[in-house]
A and B are shown apart, each in its own frame.
Chain A
Amino acid sequence: MEGILAIWQRDVIKFFRDRPRILGSFAMPFMFLILFGSGMSGAMSSMMGGASPDSPLADFDFVQFMFPGIIGLTVFTTAIFSSLSVVQDKEFGYMKEILVSPISRVSIAIGKVLGGSTVAVIQGLMMLVFVPFIGVSISFLMILKLIPVMFLVAFTLSSIGLLIASTLKTSQGFQMVVQVLIFPMLFLSGAMFPLNGMPAWMNVLVKINPLTYSVDMFKKVILEPANMAPALREAMGLNLTIFHQPITFAGEIFVVAGLGVVFVVLATMKFSTMEA
């Protein structure tokens, strides 16, 4: 147990010590939110037909729409990339120090996943600094709800990352694989634009993409679709269905947690077979 904690603690200490990384982590969200989001919002609104002030879609604000997606993007990428440290530890030798110690491989894997998840949650929370600039209102209660959701999502993504990291030997390899994986997942998750009227095959990809459910959870917490006009909700792509049934928040938790369990088990198994 203390072993898990030690592994976790190391990742957290190193996160806070790496100032450039923390600052850099604002760059992507900033670009998406301010440059891409604000730049696109006019076009998006007119596409929505929201030009007329009394249409229910006049309320559509692309930047607001994107904000939960940006939190998602931050959490996903931080969590999955956190496992880069596993590959780097192999490259720089520290993995040997860990692997030869009497702590079990399972504890190491769990510690790593928890460390990555914690860091991802912290980064996700840091994105809330954008709140005052984009006109979403976020209550304290929302933040309290957001934290466990972020953690759950981060846990699943960290596990996927660890699974990849356990099979690869170089950081370049890891970065390549993760980038190739994460970008399509992001674009097909509804984080960047509403997923309406897509071709059927793409819709299938959307529905098997775990990020879809993760992003939707963030949207449900932050945008509170229950209080929206139905047409607006539809336009924002908030009526996610699975097998033609609306999926509930609890259902999404179940899906993401289930995937998390599967991946953490796979990752731990793979990690345990690693030679020092």
Chain B
Amino acid sequence: MDTIIEVKGLKKYYKGTEAVKGLDLSVHKGEIFGFLGPNGAGKSTTINMLSTIIKPSEGHAKINGFDNVKEKNKVRASIGLIFQASTLDEKLTANENLKLHCKFYGVKKSLREDRIQEVLEIVDLTDKRYKIVETFSGGMKRRLEIARGLLNYPKVLFLDEPTVGLDPQTRAHLWDYILKLKEKAGITIFLTTHSMEEAEICDRVAIMDHGELIALDTPDQLKSKVGGDIIHVSTEANQAAKALIEERYEAEVTEDGEGLSFRVENGSKLLIDFVKQFDIPIKSVNLRRPTLNDVFLQLAGREIREENVSTKTSGNRNLARRGR
């Protein structure tokens, strides 16, 4: 498979902190590559180094064959970049934002009109072309940013937390666009996220924690490494239950706000016995396949985002399926 991004020993120190501690990876042409990690893991820092915005302290990367330090302008011309925070000029119209971008990126005059129409169509904003961006909803702004990122026909599109702050519907829509892009334009997409459901959609996921890669594989492979099933149980006395489970099943039990989870082999069989034999009254119990969160949990010893744990499972499935 062709490689479009090649990273070797990439490091970034800030005063006192080592934000990225020696990164090696390669991204294949045409894949959706996800960068998953908790706040402060170094995801944005990595994207910023790859897209030449900040200079690496050590190491280097090749993007579309160009060096991210020595050939900045060539790298910039071959990428599209969507930042974590909006970078639109909200006082201008969508059309003006797009036109300026064409000029900044030296898109040929004769091509501009076609390109603008094309990208607006992809993100479904054709009818908003001459409206001031200020009047757009958050989701529309995000889509416009993505459209703008596509104007120069980038080989790689970098997206830093593209769906953060969007409602579930807009999120889903946006993912439709991203997948459509991958199919239609065949561009490589490199995105960061701390959302499991988004990571599930990616072709490959790199998990980052404290500036280091702790895993890199397809979501399925990653999950199968965890193996087995996860039982989540909520009881009248969670502390006692925890001790009991640890003793009886020799499993590592983690607590969250609502109950306990532990991993077992062959969960569907075990669940029946578990419920029958458990001495402490059970309030609820469910069984699920491991998610990327469990992968992270196993590798890093903690949840990616503590506050998100309990509500996550249901949404996970739906979105994950869209990606298939």
A interface residues, Cβ below 8 angstroms from B: 2-3, 5-6, 9-10, 13-14, 17-18, 92-103, 275-276
CB-nearest residue of chain B to A6: B103
Contact with A along B89-120 (1 / 0, CB 8 A): 11110001000110111100000000000000
Would A14 and B91 count as touching, CB distance under 8 A?
Answer: yes
B interface residues, Cβ below 8 angstroms from A: 48, 51-54, 73, 76-77, 81, 83, 85-92, 96, 100-101, 103-106
Would A102 and B100 count as touching, CB distance under 8 A?
Answer: no
Q: Decide yes or no: A100 and B76 within 8 Å by CB, A5-B103, A6-B104, A275-B54 being known contacts.
A: yes
The distance in angstroms between the C-alpha atoms of A222 and B81, with both chains bound, is 51
Q: Decide yes or no: A96 and B89 within 8 Å by CB, A5-B103, A102-B76 being known contacts.
A: no
The distance in angstroms between the C-alpha atoms of A163 and B172, with both chains bound, is 44
The distance in angstroms between the C-alpha atoms of A176 and B164, with both chains bound, is 35
CB-nearest residue of chain A to B77: A102
User: Could you say which of A13, A14, A92, A98 contacts B104, with CB atoms under 8 Å apart?
Assistant: A98
Chain B residues whose CB sits within 8 angstroms of the CB of A96 once the complex forms? 53, 83, 87
The distance in angstroms between the C-alpha atoms of A227 and B106, with both chains bound, is 53
3 smallest CB-CB distances across A and B, nearest first, come from A101-B104, A6-B103, A93-B87
Dominant secondary structure at the B interface: loop
Q: Decide yes or no: A276 and B103 within 8 Å by CB, A93-B83, A102-B77 being known contacts.
A: no
The distance in angstroms between the C-alpha atoms of A18 and B90, with both chains bound, is 13
Chain A residues whose CB sits within 8 angstroms of the CB of B81 once the complex forms? 100
Subset of 15 A-B contacts with CB under 8 Å: A2-B103, A3-B104, A6-B104, A10-B89, A10-B100, A14-B92, A92-B86, A93-B88, A94-B89, A96-B53, A96-B83, A96-B87, A97-B104, A102-B76, A103-B104
Chain A residues whose CB sits within 8 angstroms of the CB of B48 once the complex forms? 276
Chain A residues whose CB sits within 8 angstroms of the CB of B106 once the complex forms? 2, 102
Closest-CB distance, A100 to chain B (whole angstroms): 6
